Amino acid sequence: MVGNTYPYTIHDWKEDIALASARGIDALCLNVGPEEWQYESVARSYAAALVLGAPFKLFISFDMTAIPGNRRQDVHLLRKYLAAYAHHPHQLLYHGKVLVSTFAGQGSLFGHATVQEAWQFVKDSLKDIARVHLIPSFFIDPRHYPHITAMDGYFNWNGSWPIHLTVDSPRDEVECAKLDTDRHHIHHLGGRSFMAAVSPWFFTHYGTESWNKNWIYRGDDWLFVRRWTQLIAMRDQIDIVQIISWNDYGESHYIGPIKGAQPNSEAWVDGFPHDAWLDLNEYFAHAFKTGAYPPIERDRIFMWSRPHLKDAEATDDKVPRPDRWQLTDDKFWIVVLARAPAEVRLSAADGAYHGRSWSVKEGLSTLSHPMAAGGGMRATMLRGGVAVAECAPTHDEFRVHKRPRTHNFNVFVAASPR
């Protein structure tokens, strides 16, 4: 989200690019709006990539919910970006063309009558600069894809979460909910490129006086792990995986560090790092790219939890509980990467161990444990009675509040040392 990078310098961009590259990410998708300062921030991102010199790529996704697209002349902003970066050495190319994506755009008709006419006009308007490989995230019925030949592929942005769930969904549909929309899109693309999405979480909490966005998607049941595992199993049908997101703090699915300029999301983001997910992502990214999971060279524990029980009453929040809050469970979630079989002890109590013990196999295991108001979360991996990994945020870092000040359905993500 370039919109969250207002104070970024080239140094900030260098830090982000170096970190992403070190964790198995090959490119950053730069979601841009219409403001001139965003164009200038994008310029710094490309300059940073050039300075670093790593084989890391960048590409533009035009946020068509913010960028004007009603008139033919509105294509000029898209031309401006392409003219600046289409031939940059760190621009991502796909099938020899400049990769371009969008967020929405199905209503951006550029003075034309149909989506096909509009986006063919856009591509024709850009071809004197460069040929474009367009993979948008139009929010339309996939059955229309055969008639929109301007699309060179599709990005299934909503495929990351079980967005179909409602508070009336049967419990057996809620637990480990299906994430099965990709095949419908792939079927109607007829062999064109498919970009899948993976995301660890979703919570946004803006009131009616702001963006009026206040809901969750169920991120329980190790969503990040389940979705990555699914995509790896169908990797022969997927061209690109996009991780949502690096820094979208407003929707709580950031995996990068908390920095830049937040979109008034400090109340549910500050103090809730997600960097550990970036380490976990590296494990799955390797498997997707190579077809084989990497050897586990160090025992690791990852875990995450909300800061209060789902029905806790906030003491000072003008915004009510988010829609669909009933869908989440009062548990913290644990992922173990074990070099060999081991015992894992879990506890929601501070101090001495008072919890449950599990035997885990070599490789990846997923566990959960009930949250406890006033408590925290703790996990220890033992082998032969000796602790080989431990993840135990201090009481000052994280605790489950009995009476939180605000409703916060974001999570604190922790991990044992690398």
Each residue of 112-156: pLDDT tens digit?
A: 999 999 999 999 999 999 999 999 999 999 999 999 999 999 999
Q: Of 220, 255, 290, which marks where a domain is finished? A: 290
Question: If 0-12 CB within 10 Å is exposed, 13-18 middle and 19+ buried, where does residue 189 land?
Answer: middle
What pLDDT, on the 0 to 100 scale, is given for residue 349?
Answer: 79
How far apart, in whole angstroms, are the C-alpha atoms of residue 195 and residue 135? 7
Confidence of residue 199 (pLDDT cuts 50, 70, 90): very high
Same domain (yes/no): 231, 372:
no
For residues 326-352, average pLDDT: 93
Percent of the chain with pLDDT over 90: 98
What's the sign of the alpha-carbon dihedral 66, 68, 69, 74? negative
Q: Please check whether residue 315 is in contact with residue 404, taking contact to mean a CB–CB distance below 8 angstroms.
A: yes
Whether 351 shows a pLDDT value over 90: the answer reads no
Tens digit of pLDDT for each residue in 360-416? 999 999 999 999 999 999 999 999 999 999 999 999 999 999 999 999 999 999 999
Is residue 64 situated within a structural domain? yes
Residue 95 predicted with pLDDT over 90? yes
When mean pLDDT is compared across 119-133, 310-324, 345-359, the lowest value belongs to 345-359
pLDDT score of 350? 66
Separation between Cα atoms, residue 274 and residue 9, nearest integer Å? 22
Q: Output the domain CATH number for residue 127.
A: 3.20.20.80
The band of 352, judged by pLDDT with boundaries at 50, 70 and 90, is: low
Structure tokens at 50: 């050039």
User: Is 72 a domain residue?
Assistant: yes
Buried (b) or exposed (e) across 52-70, using 16+ Cβ within 10 A? eeeebbbbbbbbbebbebe
**Would 295 be classed as within a structural domain?**
no
236 and 372 share one domain:
no
In whole angstroms, give the CA distance from residue 46 to residue 84. Answer: 10
Tell me: the pLDDT tens digits for 8-26? 999 999 999 999 999 999 9
Q: Provide the token pair at 26.
A: 């090959």
Task: Compute the average pLDDT of residues 325-346.
Answer: 98
- Domains in the chain: how many in total? 2
As a whole number, mean pLDDT of residues 185-191 equals: 98
93 and 212 both lie in a single domain: yes
Euclidean distance between CA atoms 182 and 259, whole angstroms: 32
Look-up of token digits 């359905």: 409
Quote the pLDDT of residue 403: 96
- Report the pLDDT value the prediction gives residue 99, as an integer from 0 to 100: 99
Q: How confident is the model at residue 353 (pLDDT cuts 50, 70, 90)?
A: low
* Residue 354 pLDDT exceeds 80: no
Are 223 and 156 within one domain?
yes
Query: Are both 211 and 350 inside the same structural domain?
Result: no
Find the domain containing 360 and state its range. Answer: 300-415
- β-sheet bridge partners, residue 337: 300, 364
The length of the chain in residues reads 418
In a shared domain, residues 170 and 208: yes
- Mean pLDDT (the chain, rounded): 98
Rg over alpha carbons for the chain, rounded to the nearest Å, is 22
Residue with tokens 């035997």: 359
Q: For position 297, what pLDDT does the model report?
A: 97
Specify the pLDDT at position 355. Answer: 83
**Looking at the domain assignment, is residue 138 inside a domain?**
yes
Same domain for 173 and 322, yes or no, is: no
Do 329 and 224 share a structural domain?
Answer: no
Domain boundary among 290, 323, 357: 290
Whether residues 214 and 342 share a domain: the answer is: no
**In this structure, are 255 and 349 located in the same domain?**
no
Residues 178 and 238 in one domain: yes
Do 305 and 336 belong to one domain?
yes
Q: Is the pLDDT of residue 274 over 70?
A: yes
Q: Give the model's confidence band at 247: pLDDT under 50 very low, under 70 low, under 90 confident, else very high.
A: very high
- The domain boundary, picked from 290, 313, 333, lies at 290
- 3-class SS string, the chain: CHHHCCCCCHHHHHHHHHHHHHCCCCEEEEEECCCHHHHHHHHHHHHHHHHHCCCCEEEEEEECCCCCCCCHHHHHHHHHHHHHHCCCCCECEECCEEEEEEECCCCCCCCCCCHHHHHHHHHHHHCCCCCEEEECCCCCCHHHHHHCCCCCEEECHHHHCCCCCCCCCCHHHHCCCCCCCHHHHHHHHCCCEEEEEECCCCEEECCCCCCCCEEECCCCCCHHHHHHHHHHHCHHHCCEEEECCCCCHHHCCCCCCCCCCCCCCHHHHCCCCCHHHHHHHHHHHHHHHHCCCCCCCCCEEEEEECCECCCCCCCCCCCCCCECHHHCCCEEEEEEEECCCEEEEEECCCCCCCEEEEEECCEEEEEEEECCCCCCCEEEEEECCEEEEEECCCCCCCCCECCCCCCCCCCEEEECCC
